Copies of this chain bind each other. A is one copy, B any other.
Amino acid sequence: MTITSLEGIIAYPVTPFRPDGSGIDEQAFRRVTENLLRSHPAAIAFLGSAGESAYLTDDEWRRAAKVGVETVTGRAPVILGVSELTTAAAVSKARYAKEIGADMLMVIPVSYWKLAENEIYSHFEAIAAATDLPIMAYNNPATSGVDMQPALLVQLVSKIKTVCFVKESSGDLNRMHAIRTLSNGEIPFYNGANHLTLEALAAGASGWCTAAPNLLDDRPHALFEHMRKGRLAEARELFYQLLPILGFIVVGGLPTTVKAGLRLRGLDAGDPRPPLKPLPDAPRRELEGFLATIGVGAISA
């Protein structure tokens, strides 16, 4: 499947683990994926932040990637998240992604020691050289410790042939303004900050990268369609309905809150990996209330 354009919702599954900590719960993983495929996604992105990519062993990452690709079986483009401290590990995963038939990579550099811009550039360059898959450059300083400025993101897309998209999760809309301005509107950028989606779409984002469809089904897609068709009042109304949940999953951490919400919906996707703990009782009940208020029901088997 060649990705020429990409507009709408890019949906992020969580990665379910077996209760004994021994690895991926593949059956639950498939159910999570099937549920997302019903939410009108433009693409499915496995092993992103929501997918606890950083918490998997190398073997687990490869197994999850393979199961993901096989489950989707061409019903949507498949994007795989590559978030590695070393360039060597990122290159190795990029090659594997190509090998198993993924359609695209989403690459976020991760830091322990602060990275200079030319170090980040070389990281992307090496990954791009390892495969011909299109790449989405993903900025999320809060989780990765690396903050790529708009000028660097535009440079990555302009100079490295297969880097084609930008995902911006810093929550600073000025970044989107800058990307659009610096690229004369030619670089498609995607919103990764759930709680600012209404505004990011107003600012011209081509889509919304989100784990929210795990809990909200096709409501994110409906919000996107309202904005795409200029139904601003309807979009605003829907956005403020969804906002309590969108804010909740951002503040509480996606794997923790989305896995709790899936369990509330009857799909047991397990718990996040320690040191992350399951969502405590009080916020879980709060989430339950939010879901009930907007009429979210059980997930069909």
- Interface on A for B, CB 8 Å cutoff? 21, 49, 52, 54-55, 83, 85-88, 109-110, 112-116, 118-120, 122-123, 126, 142-145, 173-174, 177, 180-181, 185, 195-196, 198-200, 202-204, 227, 230-233, 236, 240, 243-244, 247, 253-256, 272-277
Q: What is the oligomeric copy number?
A: 4
Residue of B nearest to A176 (CB): B199
- Looking at chain A's contact residues, is the secondary structure mostly helix, strand, loop, or mixed? helix
Residue in contact with A240 in the complex, picked from B143, B145, B181, B243, CB distance below 8 Å: B181
State A230–B233 Cα separation when bound (angstroms).
7
7 nearest interchain CB pairs?
Answer: A199-B199, A202-B202, A123-B275, A54-B112, A87-B274, A113-B253, A119-B275
Q: Which residues of B contact A116 (CB under 8 A)?
A: 277
Residue of B nearest to A145 (CB): B145
Residue in contact with A143 in the complex, picked from B112, B199, B204, B274, CB distance below 8 Å: B112
Q: Which residues of B contact A247 (CB under 8 A)?
A: 177
Further pairs besides A21-B88, A83-B112: 7, Cβ < 8 Å: A86-B274, A112-B144, A123-B274, A143-B145, A177-B195, A177-B240, A177-B243
Q: List 14 A-B contacts (CB under 8 A).
A: A87-B275, A88-B274, A114-B142, A115-B276, A116-B277, A118-B277, A123-B275, A173-B196, A177-B195, A181-B240, A181-B243, A198-B199, A199-B202, A203-B236
Centre residue among A119, A126, A145, A232 by max chain B CB count within 10 A: A232
